Structure 1
Amino acid sequence: MLRLIVLLLLLANALFYAWSQGYLLAWGTGPTQQSEPQRLAQQVRPQSVQVLPAEELRRLESQFAQDPRPPECLASPMLAEAEVGSLRTVLDSFPPGTWSLEQAVEPARWLVYMGPYPGVEQVARKRAELRQLGVSFEALPNPALEPGLSLGSHATEAAANQQLAALAERGVRTARVALERPEQRGQRLLLPAVDDTLRPRLEELRGVLSTKPLRPCR
């Protein structure tokens, strides 16, 4: 009996091996063939793929890191006249044509404003009332208007009045439109093509532009 069981196991293993290798496909049985000829047809020059040694890979990475970065345009925010004077002293040593100072205008901005209040307790009470009405508020961008609340900042007085009317319909009664900031005029620094030669010299400008860093041109 034991010999029969062993023979049956050997026969089963032999049949499974023949099936898995596809030897029984002629009799209509065998594993599903996994083949994706379309992927092979889409390969582009597979013979050109090569595995690089670690040393060669480091050499190529170093080469790419040393490749020059493309020039970029940088500009400062608007500068006051006193800042421009200090800036010119530094810029006089820069190569000619690498910088310019151009006129800049920042338009006035308007707030939907609540305040000023006698103290922080009144501000906290007003915040609670606004939360109950579902009205959002934010910190004041102009410290001269403290203590108070901003319900929105706008580029035009008309837009601020439009928001004020909408808030009145929601139950906000004591807000008003206030001037957040009058129109400001000044100059801004423009560096139209900062390349790898000029980039190290930007450090010389940071002392003068400490609170007004250079940003990509818009």
Structure 2
Amino acid sequence: MKALVFLLVLANLLFYAFSAGYFGRPENPDAGRLEQQVEPDKMRLVSHGEAPPASKKPVEPAPVAPVDVAPAPEVAPVPAPAPAPAPVIEKICLRWESLPVADANRLSARIDEKFAGFKQVKRAVAAEGAGWWVYIPPLPGKDEAEKKAGELRQFGVTDYFIIQEAGPSRFAISLGVFSSEKGGQERLAELKAKGVRSAKLNVRPGKESLITLEANGPATDKAALSKAALAIVPKAPAVDCK
């Protein structure tokens, strides 16, 4: 063991002496350095005693001037085509005069059934000799009729009488009978002006009234309607409304 330690110490001393040159140095001191160079053939001489040139500043690209782009022109919306106007339908008015109530009702029902495009207007007219009656409708009893008569006197109306006869007009108050509708309308207007609001105008009771019927509708159905009406009221042909 001691011998091994001695040999290791001796080897270290010899190596130190060789490195320090105790065993002699080569004539060219740079010879040792050459031997220590690593791949000397790859070395390249840059310059002889001059500093290497400064690296060139990278060239920045010239700024590009902004290009004004004109906005696209606004396109006006195309208006939707206007709807085609509805075709104009020509209208007519037909009238049947002095129809008995039963015939007027049958003709009116036929128009409703076959000619729904027509609108009807009915008016009652007095039969010959019937006249027009201005009246207050029948009251529940005699006491109520007397009370209403007292109210008429307060309004300054004295030409009246209470109907006492049995029938549908009993306890009605008659205010005048007239031969024409115009006369009845004038009397009714006079009563309204005095404050009588319950008075009415109608065909004189006890006489059958007649009906005037008017029908308004498309002219294309005029011939068909006139023909259908003649089958119901052959003695009363249709005339154009005035």
TM over 0.5, yes or no?
no
Larger Rg over CA atoms: 2
TM-score, normalized by length of structure 1? Answer: 0.33
